[in-house]
Amino acid sequence: MNLKKVGAVVSSISLLASLAAVAPAFAHGAKTASHVVKHAKSKPIVIGFVPGVTTDPFFISMEYGAQMEAKRLGVQLVYEGGVTYSPSNQTPYVNAMVARKVSALAIAPTDLQAMIPPIRNAVKSKIPVITVDSTISDTALLASRITSNNAQGGAAAADFIGGFARGKGVVAILSPSPGISTDKARVAGFTAELKKKYPHMQVVVEYDNEQSTQAIQLAQDLSLRFGNKLVGIFGTDDTSASGAAEGIRASGKLGKVKIVGYDAEPAEVQDLKQGLISALIAQKPMEEGMLAVQYAVAAAKGQKVTKFVQLANVTITKANLAKNAQWEYRSTM
């Protein structure tokens, strides 16, 4: 997110304070950045971090938090990844971290199943692994999982659209893929909340394969298929949300079909300001990155960490955007 420098400093201080309650205890506290924290055997701690991609504002924000925390703790952070969100692209980076013999590995897996073998290989190499944001299905391999409360975020989106539509009409979900743990949980949270509170609404789920052009086309197809019955679209990530907004605009249904998007990336925030998107469910990637590094350092020392952490999301609208500016994602480091 394009935070001003002063805003970033204030936000960082606030985030560090909020994480104090959940951070693992350190026996002697953090050393200064000029000294590298070492293992009991005097081996410097090196934390490997493999994001889903390196170019997305969500992961840029995560890296910002991770780098800030690594500096605070005095450890080396190796943050490396590709520009394509796929297991085939991500696996070589995990293998490289294993070959480098990092002290611990934090990773945002790009698939629930496909990323199990490289992560298992890291664990077999005595490297503790922490997943951040997304995860894998074999959670027994992991030292910890850190993510936003995706089911809660999906439920918040359902409440926004269901309330606007007064419990009537058709609502669609656009999601990248059923194989991504975070998006899968958002879909589940949305559908469960809608069934519970708005049982007369119809739900349709479509997948856009993380392609903006597909999301645009799907939104236009949904508009044609359901006509005035279509009251809302929930995009489970930034590509799905922005694509849905553009598709609905092109269909002439802007304002009639409410778009709720996940994340608070710069393009989405602009869509929110312009009225293309009605609400955003913002995560806290900087906090996730900071906490991942804290837990990775603790795991590298052989300390126990909390097995599962969920951070609450924030619902942002045009009306409350100014009060929630600290949750907008970064576009640069």
Same fold, 46-148+284-311 and 150-282: yes
Inter-residue contact 70 to 46 (CB < 8 Å): no
Per residue in 105-126, pLDDT (tens digit) is 999 999 999 999 999 999 999 9
Helix and strand totals (H; E) in the chain: 10, 12
Res. 167 pLDDT band, cuts 50 70 90: very high
What pLDDT score was predicted for residue 43?
A: 83
96 torsion bin: left (phi>0), alpha (psi -120 to 50), beta (else): alpha
Inter-residue contact 225 to 219 (CB < 8 Å): no
Compute the mean pLDDT over every residue in the chain, rounded to the nearest whole number.
89
Domain boundaries, the chain: 46-148+284-311, 150-282
Of 228, 99, 118, the C-alpha closest to 107 is 118
What pLDDT score was predicted for residue 39?
A: 53
Q: Percent of the chain scored above 70 by pLDDT? A: 87
Three-class SS state of 100: helix
Q: Give the whole-angstrom CA distance, residue 288 versus residue 132.
A: 7
Name the H helices within the chain: 5-19, 57-73, 87-100, 116-124, 150-165, 181-197, 212-226, 238-250, 266-274, 285-300
Q: Give the whole-angstrom CA distance, residue 41 versus residue 94.
A: 25
Helix axes 266-274, 238-250, angle to 10 degrees: 30
- The matching CATH number, chosen from 3.40.309.10, 2.40.50.140, 3.30.450.20, 3.40.50.2300, for 46-148+284-311 is 3.40.50.2300
Task: Give me 255's structure tokens.
Answer: 């304002």
Per residue in 39-57, pLDDT (tens digit) is 545 689 999 999 999 999 9
Interacting residues of 240 by C-beta distance below 8 A, sequence separation 6+? 174, 175, 176, 208, 215, 261, 262
pLDDT of 170 over the 80 cut:
yes
Which pTM value belongs to this model? 0.83
Interacting residues of 254 by C-beta distance below 8 A, sequence separation 6+? 248, 275, 276
- Which long-range CB contacts under 8 A does 317-325 form with residues at least 24 apart? 317/272, 317/278, 317/279, 317/280, 318/272, 318/273, 318/275, 321/269, 321/272, 321/273, 324/282, 325/3, 325/7
| Residues β-bridged to residue 326 | none
Res. 16 pLDDT band, cuts 50 70 90: very low
CA atoms 128, 138, 21, 6: torsion sign = positive
Res. 7 pLDDT band, cuts 50 70 90: very low
Per residue in 176-217, pLDDT (tens digit) is 999 899 999 999 999 999 999 999 999 999 999 989 999 999
CATH number, span 150-282: 3.40.50.2300
